[in-house]
């Protein structure tokens, strides 16, 4: 019997770009159900959930392709309902499609969080050295640098929105490359394989893409 993979986006469903990338990593025949923490909200209702500060800032793409900054706390408040819907759908595995760090939430037992995958791989590859991190917005830089910090690791952060053009991504990657990182982590689920190619070609070091790294762990779970 084919497995059922549940995906929660911090924005709205559908997100065919995210679903397709996970399908490419999952065992053949896997059925994907994607739900959003902001499902059911109008554009005006989403716009009424702005971040309170940099630490409360999340990036997501809404249904229709609009990029927004939203309050992390608002997403946390709405996520338990999305977990419950996916469990009712009979999912064999659930992934929370955001690289942010989140507190315990009702219904998150055995849910795969990409932030933990990315941090684990980065730690294994680079126990000490310099880590380059790409984030969507400059105001997230201080918070996410602290998230990645650990003894023996120097963290440098640059910002570019996932919807930026290849030339814009390349320019930011060149700026990141001047810091001479040993490894780069793309810290957002909306970055794509094309983003990874653009960054790696400019910086010239191993580069971790959250969505494909997480997808490979999901395959291990579902296979």
Asked if residue 82 and residue 45 are part of one domain, the reply reads yes
Q: Quick one: angle between helices 114-125 and 210-222, nearest 10?
A: 100
- Summarised one tens digit per residue, pLDDT across range 100-127 is 999 999 999 999 999 999 999 999 999 9
Both 94 and 178 in a single domain?
no
Residues 37 and 62 in one domain: yes
- Whether 132 and 61 share a structural domain: no
**Sheet bearing 153-159, strands edge to edge:** 153-159, 129-135, 183-186, 207-209
The pTM for the full model equals 0.89
pLDDT in the model for residue 178: 97
CATH number at residue 68: 3.40.50
What is the domain count for the chain?
A: 2
Residue 200: its H or E element: helix 193-203
pLDDT higher at 170 or 17: 170
pLDDT value at residue 2: 82
How confident is residue 25, by pLDDT bands cut at 50, 70 and 90? confident
pLDDT grade for 64, boundaries at 50, 70 and 90:
confident
Question: Are 73 and 126 contained in the same domain?
Answer: no
Q: Is 78 found in the same domain as 153?
A: no
* Residue 213 pLDDT: 95
- The confidence band for 169, taking pLDDT boundaries of 50, 70 and 90, is very high
Q: Is the pLDDT of residue 154 over 90?
A: yes
Q: Identify the pLDDT of residue 175.
A: 97
- CATH number, domain containing residue 180: 3.40.50.2300
Handedness of CA 82, 87, 90, 93 (dihedral sign): positive
The answer to whether residues 183 and 125 belong to one domain is yes
Asked if pLDDT for residue 67 goes beyond 90, the answer is no
**69-77 contact pairs (CB < 8 A, 24+):** 69/137, 70/10, 70/11, 70/38, 70/46, 72/100, 74/49, 75/10, 75/37, 75/38, 76/102, 76/103, 76/105
Enclosing domain of residue 191? 116-209
Q: φ, ψ for residue 156 (rounded to 5)?
A: -120, 135
Regarding whether 141 and 169 lie in a shared domain, the answer is yes
Q: How confident is the model at residue 209 (pLDDT cuts 50, 70, 90)?
A: very high
Tokens found for residue 64: 């229709």
Altogether, the residues listed in the chain come to a count of 223
CA dihedral of 212, 217, 220, 222, whole degrees rounded to 10: -80
Other CB atoms within a 10 A radius of the CB of residue 162 amount to 19
- Say whether both 108 and 121 belong to one domain: no
Element (H, E) at 168: helix 166-177
> Do 42 and 124 share a domain, yes or no?
no
H/E element, 79: helix 72-88
* Average of per-residue pLDDT values in the chain: 94
The pLDDT confidence band at residue 63, using thresholds 50, 70 and 90, is confident
> Average of pLDDT values for 141-165?
95
Given a cut of 90, whether residue 55 has pLDDT beyond it is no
Q: Where does the pLDDT of residue 82 fall: very low under 50, low under 70, confident under 90, or very high at 90 and above?
A: very high
């Amino acid at each position: 019997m084919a497995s059922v993979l549940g995906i929660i986006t911090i924005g709205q469903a559908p997100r065919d770009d995210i679903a397709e990338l996970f399908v490419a990593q999952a065992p053949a025949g896997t059925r994907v159900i994607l739900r959003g923490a902001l499902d059911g909200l109008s554009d005006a209702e989403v716009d009424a959930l702005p971040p309170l500060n940099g630490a409360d800032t999340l990036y997501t793409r809404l249904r229709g392709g609009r990029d927004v900054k939203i309050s992390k706390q608002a997403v946390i408040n709405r996520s338990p309902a999305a977990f419950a819907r996916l469990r009712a759908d009979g999912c064999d595995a659930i992934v929370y499609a955001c690289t942010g760090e989140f507190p315990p939430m009702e219904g998150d037992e055995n849910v795969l969080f990409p932030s933990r995958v990315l941090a684990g791989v980065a730690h294994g590859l680079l126990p000490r050295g310099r880590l380059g991190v790409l984030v969507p917005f400059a105001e997230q830089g201080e918070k996410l640098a602290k998230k990645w910090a650990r003894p023996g690791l120097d963290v440098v952060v640059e910002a570019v929105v996932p919807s930026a053009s290849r030339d814009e991504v390349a320019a930011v990657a060149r700026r990141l490359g001047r810091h001479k990182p040993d490894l780069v982590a793309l810290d957002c689920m909306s970055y794509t394989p094309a983003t990874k190619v653009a960054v790696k070609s400019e910086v010239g070091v191993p580069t971790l893409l959250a969505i494909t790294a997480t997808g490979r762990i999901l395959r291990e779970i579902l296979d």
